[in-house]
Amino acid sequence: MLLSVMAGIKIKKIQQLLNHQKVVRAMPNSPTVLGMGITGYTAANSVSFQELMQVERLLNCTGRSVYLEDENLLDSVTALSGSGPAYFYYIVDAMIKSGIEMGIDENLAKLFVKQTMLGAYHLINNSDKNLEQLIQDVASKGGTTEAALKIFEENHLKETLKTGILEAEKRSKELSR
């Protein structure tokens, strides 16, 4: 069995190029190096259920895995979670640089931002509230968070992020041609 983690390279193309039928295609993300990633994967029809379970056990050693029946969804997974860590790093970097600009020592800014991200992640995972409710819990009327969110909305930050992610998906699809 061959396991491919190449973005955008379809199973059929791998089978043809390597003259090998048992191909599994996967898209992990960088947190897999810590055992905290997620990998979307799919397989050629020639891969048996038992072989697929072996692949899943292997992938689960790096975090979680999700089997996708539709190979085309791997382009979306590539854009969303394969590239996803870079989006978070980008936001974290902007937050740290803001802290430094406000006069906070770089190491202290990093500590505040990283712990904030970690705590926010755990709140998302452990709360019954949806994201909008969690945002509203922090954004007091007329307060500091509301002022920042207003600027984000005026500058279409959410739309910009969504457009970027959709562009990543488009690029993954282009790679398959």
Sign of CA dihedral 172, 173, 174, 176: positive
**pLDDT score of 136:** 95
Report which DSSP code applies to 1. -
Percent of the chain exceeding pLDDT 90 equals: 94
Do residues 172 and 79 make contact, with C-beta atoms less than 8 angstroms apart? Answer: yes
Instruction: Work out the pLDDT band at 7, boundaries 50, 70, 90.
Output: confident
Instruction: Work out the pLDDT band at 31, boundaries 50, 70, 90.
Output: very high
Phi, psi of 39, rounded to the nearest 5 degrees: -130, 125
Is residue 67 pLDDT above 90, yes or no?
yes
**pLDDT score of 177:** 77
Helical ranges in 10-63 per DSSP H: 11-18, 49-60
Record the pTM. 0.89
Q: Report how far residue 124's alpha carbon sits from residue 137's, in angstroms, rounded to the nearest whole number.
A: 12
Cα three-residue angle 164-90-8, rounded to 5 degrees? 45
> Which tens digit of pLDDT belongs to each residue from 113-161?
999 999 999 999 999 999 999 999 999 999 999 999 999 999 999 999 9
**pLDDT score of 114:** 97
* Length of the chain in terms of residues written: 177
The angle that helices 106-126 and 131-138 make with each other, rounded to 10 degrees, is 130
Q: Report how far residue 9's alpha carbon sits from residue 29's, in angstroms, rounded to the nearest whole number.
A: 16
Domains contained in the chain, CATH given: 2-70 (3.40.50.720), 84-174 (1.10.3730.10)
Report which DSSP code applies to 176. T
The angle that helices 84-101 and 157-175 make with each other, rounded to 10 degrees, is 140
